[in-house]
Amino acid sequence: MPYADLRVFLTKLEACGKLRRIPKPVDKDWEIAAVSKIAFERIPEPRRPALFFERVQGFDIPVVTGVLGASRSIYCLALECDPDEVQEKWGEAELHPIPPRLISDGPVHEIVSLQEKADVTFLPVPTWTVEKDPAPYITSGYIITADPESRRRNVGTYRLQLKGPRKLGLFINYLQGGRHHVEKNNKLKQPTPVAVVIGADPVIGLVSVSRLPQDMDELAVAGGLRGQAVDVVRCVTVDLEVPATAEIVVEGVIKPNEFESEGPFGEYTGYMGPKAMSYILDVQCITHRNRPIFQAFHSQMPPSESSCIRSIGREATLYKHLAEDLGLPVCGVHLLESGGAAAYLVISLKKTHPVQPRTVMCGAWSFAPQFGKITVVVDDDIDIRDVNAVNWALSFRVQPERDVVIMPGMAAVSLDPSQAPVDVPQEDLSRRVSSKIGIDATRKHAFPDVAVPPKEHLELVRKNWQSYGFPEGIL
C-alpha cells in the first residue's frame, strides 16, 4: 500500500521504532544540525532513527531529518521492500513507470500566499555549518522544472540558500537535468519556472536524489515505485505540477542569465564546498498544508543522511550493471558512507578467472566514472560492509607492485577537495579530472587455512551470549 504523504510515512516509521520525537525546544540556527550530527555519529547505522523536532523556537512548524536515509532499513521502508529487493524495485519502476494523475485540488493548496505574502522566512530552515555557511539552507527541496521545448519534467534535489524573504540562491551542477532546462531558457532569454517541493511521499524524495535516464519523468518512476500514480495539482503561478499531498511548495522563476554568489556550503564530502555564481530564484507564491511539516536532509561530514541515501541507490544500479549487464560474478557492491558514497568503492567477487578483478574495476569506472576513486575488489568470503574485514583483505591478500592499478585522467569525484585547490572555480575543467586507484585484494593462489575458532563453536557462543554475563542487545 503506497504512502499517501510524508505524514503517513512518519506514522509508519514511528510504528517500526524508527522515529525519535524530540519534544525539547530547539534553535534551528545551530541545534538541529548538531543533534542530527551526534545522532548519526553515536547511533550505529542499523539502529539510527529519523528525528522529529517537535518544537522549533520561534516557529510553529516542526522539522524532520533522516526521514529517507538515517539508515538502510529506513530507505527500504520508504521503498516498501527488503534490502535485497532494492535493485529489482528500481528496475521494475523504470521499466513500468506510471505517469502522474492530474487532479483539480489537493491539501498542498490549503493555504496559498501570493507575491509579498510569499515570505520564505516563515519556514524553520536550519543553518547547517554554523559560521561557515552564509545563511540557512533548504537541503531537501525536490526541484521541479520543465524542458522549454519538449515540456519534459525534471525533479532533482539541489541546495537552496535563503537570501531574503522572497529570494533563494540555487546551486545546480553541470550534470543535472534541472541545469539543462535553465541553460536552454537562458539561451532563449526567458525565465525558468520552478516549483520547490518540501516534504512528500518518500518515493518522491528518492527519485529526486537519484540519477535516472534524462528522458524519464521522475514522477512517473515514483508512480512505478509506489505501484500507483502520484496525484498532482497545477501550481498557482507557474506552468508546472506538484504532488497534491506535499507539505509545502515554493513557486518562483529563475531570471534568465542572472547569477549571484552562493555558498560556500558544508558538503557531503565533509568539507566546505566552494562559493559559486549560481541561479537566483524569485519566489512568487508559497502553498502549504494546514500545520505543515518541514523536511530537511542532514548532509555535511559523513556519515550523514545524504551519504546513506546516495549509497543505496548507486550500489543497486552499479551491481546490476556489473552482475547482470556485464555478466561478471560480482556478489556485492559497497560505496562507503565515509567516502560520501562516491570516493571509496568495495566490490566482492566469486573469482573464476584472474583477470576478473581488473575487468570489474574497468566496468565500474566506465559505468559510473565519478565514483570509486579508490576501488577495492575482494573475494566473496569478505563481508564488504565490515571495514575490518576489508582492511584484513587489503593487509594480507595484496602485493602492492602486482595488485595495484593507478589510472590517470579519469573523472573526478564531484567536490573532492584533494584534486584541485578550493579557489579553482567549480566550472574549471581541472576540477573534473582525477586519477583512480584500483586494488585487487583477492587471493591469487591457495592460502593457508584461516585461524578462527570452528563455526559451530562460534554459533553456540552467539546463542548463549547472555550466559557469559553480557547485557542484552550487545550482540
Residue with the three cell numbers 524569485: 282
Residue number, 69 or 363, with CB nearest to ligand FMN: 69
Query: How far apart are the C-alpha atoms of 61 and 179, rounded to whole Å?
Result: 31
Residue number, 36 or 299, with CB nearest to ligand FMN: 299
Query: How far apart are the C-alpha atoms of 235 and 230, rounded to whole Å?
Result: 15
Q: At its nearest, how many Å lie between ligand FMN and the CB of residue 204?
A: 12
Grid cell listed for 83? 534490502
Q: Which stretch binds ligand FMN (CB under 6 A): 21-29, 176-184, 195-203, 229-237?
A: 176-184
Q: At its nearest, how many Å lie between ligand FMN and the CB of residue 172?
A: 5
Q: Which stretch binds ligand FMN (CB under 6 A): 3-11, 175-183, 223-231, 452-460?
A: 175-183
Grid cell listed for 187? 539561451
Q: At its nearest, how many Å lie between ligand FMN and the CB of residue 338?
A: 16
Q: Which of residues 126-165 bind ligand FMN (CB under 6 A)?
A: 139, 154, 156-159
**By CB under 6 A, residue 7 contacts ligand FMN:** no
**By CB under 6 A, residue 280 contacts ligand FMN:** no
Q: At its nearest, how many Å lie between ligand FMN and the CB of residue 405?
A: 28
Are the CB atoms for 321 and 211 separated by under 8 Å? no
Q: Which of residues 297-316 bind ligand FMN (CB under 6 A)?
A: 297, 299, 306, 309-310
Grid cell listed for 131? 559560521
Of 113, 173, 228, 359, the residue at the interface with ligand FMN (CB under 6 A) is 173
Looking at the DSSP bridge assignments, the partners of residue 333 are: 347
CA-to-CA dists, residue 141 to 242, 250, 317, angstroms: 12, 9, 24
| Beta-carbon-side half-sphere exposure of residue 39 (alpha carbons within 13 Å) | 28
Of 78, 108, 172, 342, the residue at the interface with ligand FMN (CB under 6 A) is 172
Q: At its nearest, how many Å lie between ligand FMN and the CB of residue 109?
A: 25
**By CB under 6 A, residue 37 contacts ligand FMN:** no
Q: Indicate the SS3 state at residue 419.
A: coil
**By CB under 6 A, residue 177 contacts ligand FMN:** yes
Of 178, 302, 363, 372, the residue at the interface with ligand FMN (CB under 6 A) is 178
Output the CA torsion sign for 237, 225, 74, 320: negative
Query: How far apart are the C-alpha atoms of 235 and 9, rounded to whole Å?
Result: 24
Contacts of 78 (CB under 8 A, 6+ apart): 3, 9, 68, 202, 203, 205, 206
**By CB under 6 A, residue 318 contacts ligand FMN:** no
**By CB under 6 A, residue 228 contacts ligand FMN:** no
| Helix, strand, coil in percent for the chain, rounding step 5 | 30, 25, 45
Instruction: Give the total of residues touching ligand FMN (CB under 6 A).
Output: 20
Q: Which stretch binds ligand FMN (CB under 6 A): 110-118, 167-175, 184-192, 451-459?
A: 167-175
Residue number, 273 or 292, with CB nearest to ligand FMN: 273
Q: Which stretch binds ligand FMN (CB under 6 A): 42-50, 174-182, 395-403, 458-466?
A: 174-182
Q: At its nearest, how many Å lie between ligand FMN and the CB of residue 300?
A: 10
Per-residue binding letters, 240-269, with ligand FMN (x by CB under 6 A): ------------------------------
Per-residue binding letters, 93-132, with ligand FMN (x by CB under 6 A): ----------------------------------------
Distance between alpha carbon 270 and the CA centroid of its chain, in Å? 14
Of 9, 53, 171, 294, the residue at the interface with ligand FMN (CB under 6 A) is 171
Q: At its nearest, how many Å lie between ligand FMN and the CB of residue 251?
A: 19
| Residue closest to 161 by CA, chosen among 193, 127, 204, 190 | 127
Q: Give the E-state strand segments of 46-104 in sequence order.
A: 50-53, 63-65, 101-102
Question: Which DSSP helix (H) or strand (E) runs through 346?
Answer: strand 344-349
Residue number, 87 or 442, with CB nearest to ligand FMN: 87
Q: At its nearest, how many Å lie between ligand FMN and the CB of residue 143?
A: 8
**By CB under 6 A, residue 52 contacts ligand FMN:** no
Q: Which of residues 194-213 bind ligand FMN (CB under 6 A)?
A: 209-211
Question: Which DSSP helix (H) or strand (E) runs through 396?
Answer: helix 387-396
Q: Which residue is nearest to ligand FMN (CB)?
A: 156
Are the CB atoms for 282 and 255 separated by under 8 Å? yes
Query: How far apart are the C-alpha atoms of 150 and 330, rounded to whole Å?
Result: 39
Output the CA torsion sign for 299, 302, 305, 307: positive
Are the CB atoms for 427 and 174 separated by under 8 Å? yes
Q: Indicate the SS3 state at residue 116.
A: helix
Q: Report phi then psi at 135, rounded to 5.
A: -165, 175
Which residues of the shown chain bind ligand FMN in the complex (CB under 6 A)? Answer: 139, 154, 156-159, 171-173, 176-178, 209-211, 297, 299, 306, 309-310
